Amino acid sequence: MVDSNMKHHFPCLWLPKAFLLLSLLFLPACLHAPGEAQLPAARLNYLDTIQKDMDVLVPDPRHPDDPFVLVTLREAMTGARERNGGIGACLVREATGEVVERGHNRQYEPYFRSDLHAEMDLLDRFEERMRLARSRNPGDPTYTDPRAATGLVLYTSVEPCPMCLTRIINSGIKKVYYAAPDINGGMVRRFDGLPPFWKSMAEGMVLEPARCSPALSEIAARLFRPMHVPGAKRLEAQSK
């Protein structure tokens, strides 16, 4: 026989029900990429338009860097949707075309990190993996010289800034290709302004615009454009 007082054993049944109801209410917000729900509608529309143009892009065999620049653009789109800025990068083993690491700007979300530009985001993870790998293999040339990792190419959607360029030089990576120039902040075009030590360390490096389709460079610039500083148009006009 059921105790008529049994219901008093479950006085909080309303609590899980309320929790379930609230979960259902907030589920659509959770399905967005991190930070995306906070983007203004105009910015979301802007990114959706770029996404449509990206969706129809295919690598053009006449442009050898297209497959890798496409990876950087996808990363840049992720960064833009996270409110982190639209810059992406990837690291490629030149002999095989294998993408061994990828990254995007993570400077603002989930919390401010002034070092996490796309290139640094990628390098942090890559160097950590290499540290663990070579610690188990004394025969690896990077065991004694961590900069001896040869045959790597770093692609980035936007010309590296001073901070990232010196970090890349310091990493030992010898080839860098970027899809779009950064008129206001790019350091490759200002290479001669580097201190002598850094210039000598970069001797023999390839630092050039990517050999990619113009359409891909244009998308890289569109993803990056909203980050331009006030007065950018004036600086752009002066640099022409």
- Asked if residue 82 lies in contact with residue 111, where contact means CB atoms within 8 angstroms, the answer is no
- Asked if residue 101 lies in contact with residue 91, where contact means CB atoms within 8 angstroms, the answer is yes
- 208: helix, coil or strand? strand
Nearest CB to Zn ion, comparing residues 157 and 213: 157
Written as six digits, the tokens of 126 are 């890559």
Min dist CB 28 to Zn ion, Å, is 34
- How far apart (Å, rounded) are the C-alpha atoms in residues 120 and 106? 10
Q: With CB under 5 A as the contact rule, which of the stretches 130-138, 164-172, 194-202, 205-213 interacts with Zn ion?
A: 164-172
- How far apart (Å, rounded) are the C-alpha atoms in residues 97 and 146? 22
Exactly one of 161, 183, 207, 220 binds Zn ion (CB under 5 A); that residue is 161
Q: Considering the rule CB under 5 A, would residue 207 count as an interface residue with Zn ion? A: no
Looking at the DSSP bridge assignments, the partners of residue 82 are none
**Contacting residues for 125 by C-beta, under 8 A, at least 6 apart:** 101, 103
- How far apart (Å, rounded) are the C-alpha atoms in residues 54 and 219? 8
Min dist CB 117 to Zn ion, Å, is 3
Nearest CB to Zn ion, comparing residues 66 and 164: 164
Q: Considering the rule CB under 5 A, would residue 50 count as an interface residue with Zn ion? A: no
Q: With CB under 5 A as the contact rule, which of the stretches 73-81, 143-151, 162-170, 173-181 interacts with Zn ion?
A: 162-170
Min dist CB 165 to Zn ion, Å, is 8
| Interface size with Zn ion, residues (CB under 5 A) | 3
**Contacting residues for 167 by C-beta, under 8 A, at least 6 apart:** 119, 120, 123
- Asked if residue 227 lies in contact with residue 195, where contact means CB atoms within 8 angstroms, the answer is no
Q: With CB under 5 A as the contact rule, which of the stretches 146-154, 160-168, 200-208, 211-219 interacts with Zn ion?
A: 160-168
- Asked if residue 102 lies in contact with residue 76, where contact means CB atoms within 8 angstroms, the answer is no
Q: Considering the rule CB under 5 A, would residue 176 count as an interface residue with Zn ion? A: no
Min dist CB 107 to Zn ion, Å, is 9
Q: Considering the rule CB under 5 A, would residue 164 count as an interface residue with Zn ion? A: yes
Written as six digits, the tokens of 71 are 């990876």
Q: Considering the rule CB under 5 A, would residue 117 count as an interface residue with Zn ion? A: yes
Q: Considering the rule CB under 5 A, would residue 123 count as an interface residue with Zn ion? A: no
Nearest CB to Zn ion, comparing residues 67 and 86: 86
Nearest CB to Zn ion, comparing residues 165 and 212: 165
Please give the residue ranges that form the binding site for Zn ion (CB under 5 A).
Answer: 117, 161, 164
